[in-house]
Chains A and B, each alone.
Chain A
Amino acid sequence: MSLPAKSGDASQSPHGFVHVRNVHKHFGPKLTLGDRIAATLGARVETRSVRAVDGVSLDIVRGETLGLVGESGCGKSTLGRMVAGILTPSSGDVAVDGAPVMADGRKIDTRVQMIFQDPFASLDPRMRVGDIIAEGPLAHGLTSKSEQAGYVAGYLERAGLDASLVRRFPHQFSGGQRQRIAIARALAMQPEVLVCDEPVASLDVSIQAQIINLFLALQRDLGLTLIFISHDLSVVRHLSDRVAVMYLGRIVEEGPAEQVYATPAHPYTKGLLASVPRLVLDEADLVTLDAIEGEIPSPLSPPAGCNFNPRCPLAQERCVRDDPELRQVRSGHLAACHFAE
């Protein structure tokens, strides 16, 4: 899979189907009118903001699955929500198939749908399953009141649920079944892009396998473009064509899944992969987890130079001074490290 050229002229370059360009999302304190006036007059007003996403560019080919991995606070969910149009970027653009997502901040974009981690929080407990799934399609004219029953049944079955369950309420379902309802609701909007934010994280292992298989079937049968956000590296490996690793609001490495896992180029990715416990099948194997030292710094005051330098085993003087660009280390494989090769 080749990566579209990241050239400067935005007008003609062959963008991906999902095109994210230099997106930032900063969460700052709400300033009062007085503060704003004071700030424009040059007074020092506390405006420190959390740089949740700090300059991310991505291109995803149609039908491809991009895995977005990173630890808590790295900005992966915020990025996912910006692609889905739930959050508006502080700056930068998100476009699907050449058209911006949620351009004016009001028009609802149905081309991107989202699946959330907690199926106990994402379904309205007072609505029947049939109504949960039909609400969006009815509002957007994808189906009509008279055709609603058949429409809903089709998507329920697509998600692996019995269509006779439409009259039930969410509390009558288990966690795995609720996640299927959430998937049916997203599919019923006939999206082109699906953003899945930790969709199997809260499920038991045996149920997790069922939902992963459902995603595999959706990839095969519907040709959906998927953004799969997870902290679980083995789940991402299983489902993704490409993987992007985030750290403190930035992408530090991006490339074909098998390459990133086999030969990670960024020291953070290496550390992350080494931290994952593996099944031990040999008594003689005393497993050593090469943990990354220290903790993620506060995004309120990220370190100077390379974000990862305080924890990096390779860090040198240069890393405190210069912020490394995300650059190509192999064909289609990018890393933001001075020493990556």
Chain B
Amino acid sequence: MSAPILEVSDLTTHFFTRAGVVKAVDGVSFSVGAGEIVGLVGESGSGKSVTGFSLMGLVDPPGRIVSGSVKLDGEELVGLSWDQLRALRGSHIAMVFQDPMATLNPVLTIGTQMRLAISAHDKTSRRAADARAADVLTRVGIPEARSRLGAYPHEFSGGMRQRVAIAIALLHGSQVLVADEPTTALDVSIQAQILTEMRDLAAETGTALVWISHDLATVSTLADRLLVMYAGRIVEQGPVASVLRDPHHPYTAGLLRSLPATAKPGEDLFQIPGTTPSLLDPPPGCPFRPRCEHASELCTADPPLEMSRDRGVRCFHPLREMVSV
């Protein structure tokens, strides 16, 4: 693996609401190498999307990055001014969102929107911009791209719209692409097409991909490395297949066991008791403690991240004692 292109360390994003401080992201560290695909997995409220927004510098008040660092190719992003960030967004780090209709402007043609995105960072002629837009659209699997530039978003299907959104994110050959549930709203056959295309794309262009999703199976077919988030923290990380085959954190294990795909048809599924905790002034200690069957006195303290080779886990009672190197 080459040197990391994106380095996140101890990222902490809090929302200062009237009811109290919501610790949406609470000390998250990870890095992504060029061409690597990292899957960030968690349930609603785990902080996975806020982590994505934090990378882009898109956290709105009352939220704020409280501490930590996000380094893109060695350059610190936290603390940059809006204009400095704007110069990087779209050209060096780009994002794809779940709902393409929220990304695309319904009253502008695809061509206009792509030309705007190109001119935000580069000065080119209209002809050159069109050629570039058509080229990128072809790369994400849109047929007859040239003639589709004059079309409006509503003339595309959901899958095609998401492809356009991905194409816009790719226009400037960003080093890092953050994708927040980009295939969740799509049908499985369309999702399969896009997953295959994204994997080829990362391999071809060397773009580092941070793929945020709630779906373990989708991430496992795409990603090289898996980060499992719970209550604003990464509780487990490692190579995808290794983590899924042999989860160390009780939460990861519980999540896997509760999938219908891992059970016999008609049998009761494993249930993780309780619900995800509120991130509003959470009690100290391991956030999974109230739902964990292995919890003990120890767990009232904060478990540190234990790394062993390429695996990491934040738990005092990991399901397998990790071999120290």
Q: A205-B43, A272-B189, A291-B196 are in contact. Are A280 and B266 (CB under 8 A)?
A: no
The 3 closest A-B pairs by CB, nearest first: A209-B258, A275-B192, A291-B192
A207 nearest in chain B by CB position: B275
A274 — nearest CB in chain B belongs to which residue? B192
Given A239-B265, A275-B192, A283-B239, 14 further pairs, Cβ under 8 A: A205-B43, A205-B214, A206-B258, A209-B259, A209-B270, A216-B267, A235-B260, A272-B189, A276-B188, A279-B244, A280-B241, A281-B241, A281-B245, A292-B189
- With A72-B187, A277-B217 in contact, is A289–B271 under 8 Å at CB? no
Kindly list chain A residues whose C-beta atoms are within 8 Å of the C-beta of B43: 204-206
Question: Is A259 interfacial (CB 8 A cutoff)?
Answer: no
**A residues near B241, Cβ cutoff 8 Å:** 280-283, 285
| Chain A residues within 8 Å of B258, by CB | 205-206, 208-209
Contact with B along A49-68 (1 / 0, CB 8 A): 00000000000000000000
Contacts of A295 in B (CB 8 A): 157, 159-160, 190
From 175 to 206 in chain A, residues with beta carbon under 8 angstroms from any chain B beta carbon are: 176, 204-206
Interface readout for A252-274 with B: 1 if CB under 8 Å, 0 if not?
A: 00000110000000000001101
A166 to chain B minimum Cβ distance, whole angstroms, is: 20
- A238 adjacent to chain B (CB < 8 Å): yes
Interface pair B244/A281, CB less than 8 Å apart? yes
Q: Is B103 an interface residue (CB 8 A)?
A: no
- 30 A-B pairs within 8 Å (CB atoms) are namely A71-B188, A204-B276, A205-B259, A206-B254, A206-B271, A212-B260, A213-B269, A216-B266, A233-B188, A238-B260, A239-B265, A271-B189, A272-B188, A276-B217, A277-B195, A277-B217, A277-B220, A278-B221, A278-B261, A280-B221, A280-B241, A281-B244, A289-B195, A289-B196, A289-B221, A290-B192, A291-B189, A291-B190, A291-B192, A296-B187
- CB-CB under 8 A from B101, the residues of chain A are none
Check if A277 sits within 8 Å of B192, measured CB to CB.
Answer: yes
Q: Which residues of A lie under 8 Å from residue B187 when comparing CB positions?
A: 71-72, 231, 296
Chain A residues whose C-beta falls within 8 Å of the C-beta of B260 in the assembled complex: 209, 212, 234-235, 237-238
Task: Tell me, yes or no, whether A117 is within 8 Å of chain B by CB.
Answer: no
Contacts of B259 in A (CB 8 A): 205, 209, 234, 279
Contact residues in A for B275 (Cβ distance below 8 Å): 174, 176, 207
A71-B188, A216-B266, A277-B215 known; A283 and B193 CB under 8 Å? no
B contact residues around A280 at 8 Å (CB): 220-221, 240-241, 244
Query: Cβ of A146 < 8 Å from any Cβ of B?
Result: no
Which of B187, B217, B241: most chain A CB closer than 10 A? B187
- Give the chain B neighbours of A176 by CB distance below 8 A: 275
Q: Is the CB of B261 within 8 A of A71?
A: no
Question: Which residues of A lie under 8 Å from residue B190 when comparing CB positions?
Answer: 291, 295
The distance from the CB of A168 to the nearest CB of chain B, in whole angstroms, is: 16
Bound Cα distance from A278 to B192, whole angstroms: 11
Q: Which of B160, B190, B262 has the most CB of A within 10 A?
A: B190
A205 to B158, CA, bound (A): 24
In the bound assembly, the distance between CA atoms of A291 and B189 in angstroms comes to 6
Interface check A210, CB cutoff 8 A: yes
- Would you call B255 an interface residue if the criterion is a C-beta within 8 Å of the partner chain's C-beta atoms? yes
Complex Cα–Cα for A276 and B240 (A)? 17
Q: Within the assembled complex, what's the spacing in Å between the Cα atoms of A194 and B216?
A: 30
- In the complex, whether A287 has a CB less than 8 A from a CB of chain B is yes
B134-171 interface bits toward A, Cβ cutoff 8 Å, 1 = contact, 0 = none: 00000000000000000000000111100000000000
In contact, A209 and B269 (Cβ under 8 angstroms): yes
Q: Which residues of B contact A (CB under 8 A)?
A: 43-44, 157-160, 187-193, 195-196, 214-218, 220-222, 239-242, 244-245, 254-256, 258-263, 265-272, 275-276
B255 touches A206 (CB 8 A): yes
Which residue of the partner chain A has the closest CB to B195? Answer: A289
How would residues 289 to 326 of chain A score, 1 for a CB under 8 Å from any chain B CB and 0 otherwise?
11110011000000000000000000000000000000
Minimum C-beta distance from B290 to chain A (A)? 13
| A40 contacts partner chain B, Cβ-Cβ < 8 Å | no
Contacts of A275 in B (CB 8 A): 188-189, 191-192
Does A172 count as interface, using CB distance less than 8 angstroms?
A: no
**Which residues of the other chain, A, contact B269 by a CB distance below 8 angstroms?**
209, 212-213, 238
Closest to A212 in B: B269
A233 to B187, CA, bound (A): 11
Nearest-Cβ distance from residue A285 to partner chain B, whole angstroms: 7
Residues of B within 8 Å of A331, CB to CB, are: none
Q: Is residue A32 within 8 Å, beta carbon to beta carbon, of the partner chain?
A: no
Contact between B265 and A237, CB atoms less than 8 A apart: yes
Q: Check B244–A257 contact: CB distance below 8 A.
A: no
- Judging by beta carbons under 8 Å apart, are A291 and B193 in contact? yes
Which partner residue on chain A sits nearest B45 by CB separation?
A204
- CB neighbours of B244 from chain A (8 A): 279-281
Q: In whole angstroms, what is the CA distance A239 to B260 when docked?
A: 9
Residue of B nearest to A204 (CB): B43
Contact with B along A156-177 (1 / 0, CB 8 A): 0000000000000000001010
